[in-house]
Each structure stands twice: as C-alpha cells, then as structure tokens.
Amino acid sequence: MTEESAKKATQLPKPVGYKILIALPEVEDKYESGLIKADTTKSTEELSTIVGFVIELGPDCYQDKAKFPQGAWCKKGDFVLFRAYSGTRFKVHGKEFRFINDDSVEGIVEDPRGYTRA
C-alpha cells in the first residue's frame, strides 16, 4: 500500500451500531465490445450495484442472537451481495462507499467479477 492510499484509507468513516462499511467495485469505462460507456450509464451501474467488499463491521453487527442464531452472515474481507440501490451512499476521494445494515447481506461470493443486476 502506498503512503497516499494508506492516508486515504484512514479517512474512511467507522461504521457504528449494526452498519457495515462496503467498498464498491470500480465501474468499467467500456463494454466488452470496446464501446465506451456514457457517463449516465456508468453512474447507473455504480448506483445500482449489487456486490461490494466488506471493509469493516460496526460493533453491534450480528449481536442480536434471536435474529442471527447461527452468528454473523459475513466478515471483514468478504465480497457480499445486497439489494440494488440499498444503503447510505457516499464518496471519499471520488470513490463510492456504502453503509448497509447487517441484515441487508443476502449472500457471500468468492469472486465478484461477472456479477451484475438482472
């Protein structure tokens, strides 16, 4: 990690309560055919993404034993699926992140490449 990326990483907010901090994948500038995507298309893809990387979990995530009898649904470092348009969106240095609720996680994926909204 470069010094600049380390500094940017420390500027990320810490999730509180039952929130999970998610990093979103970079949206490709081109289609597989090589055509360049319009800015509105890229913006829609970023907004409606369904996959993200778990950066950090808030201290109350998965603590409700009645709601999560088998324990946590995900952990730091997992790629997770969640509903499109969900969470609190924000950008840090031009990169979008989200806070989602612990019960918003709908699945874990090994490799997020190739996942798109249907």
- Name the helix (H) or strand (E) containing 20: strand 19-23
The tens digit of pLDDT for each residue in 68-115 reads 999 999 999 999 999 998 999 999 998 899 999 999 999 999 988 878
pLDDT digits (tens, 9 = 90+) for 27-36: 666 677 777 7
Q: SS3 of 86, please? A: coil
Amino acid at 85: Y
| CATH 2.30.33.40 at 12-109, yes or no | yes
Cβ distance 94 to 11 under 8 Å? no
More confident residue, 71 or 7: 71
pTM of the model: 0.82
Rounded to whole angstroms, the Cα distance separating 50 from 109 reads: 11
Backbone angles phi, psi at 16, to 5 degrees: -115, 160
Q: By three-state DSSP, how is residue 9 classified?
A: helix
The mean of the pLDDT values for the chain is 87
What pLDDT digit, counting tens, does each position of 22-67 carry?
999 876 666 777 777 677 766 777 778 899 999 999 999 999 999 9
Is 1's pLDDT higher than 70?
A: no
In the chain, what are the domain boundaries? 12-109
Phi, psi of 9 (to 5 degrees): -65, -35
> How far is it, in rounded angstroms, from Cα 2 to Cα 26?
19
Neighbours of 109 (CB within 10 A): 13
For residue 109, what pLDDT is reported?
Answer: 95
